[in-house]
Amino acid sequence: MCEVAVFPGDVIVGDEEGVVVIPRALAVEAAEEALAQERREEFIMEKVRGGASIVGVYPPNEKTLAEYARWLDQKEGV
């Protein structure tokens, strides 16, 4: 068991693996980073499902990061 202080306004997220308390002051930053990670994983899964080797795709190398930036620009432009 782990003890942690929880204050009004903190964000509490839980699933079958556990619970996380995000301090109110970090909630927006944590949500933005989580969304960015989800987008990267969506891109990576599209590449892998399309037949790309995992090498250089995960973790992404510079070429893959450049492809991701173009992919993201296209998604956000829609």
Q: pLDDT by residue (tens digit) across 16-70?
A: 999 999 999 999 999 999 999 999 999 999 999 999 999 999 999 999 999 999 9
Q: What is the pLDDT of residue 57?
A: 97
Residue 4 placed within a domain: no
In a domain, 34, yes or no: yes
Q: What is the domain range of residue 27? A: 11-77
- Does residue 37 lie in a domain region? yes
* CB of 46 closer than 8 Å to CB of 58: no
Q: Is residue 19 part of a domain?
A: yes
Q: Where are the alpha helices (DSSP H) in 1-78?
A: 27-49, 62-77
Residue 1: inside a domain: no
pLDDT of residue 78 exceeding 70, the answer is no
| Paired residues of 11 in beta bridges | 22
3-state secondary structure 3-19: CCCCCCCCEEEEECCEE
Within a domain: 27: yes
User: How many structural domains compose the chain?
Assistant: 1
Domain contains 5: no
Identity of the amino acid at 50: G
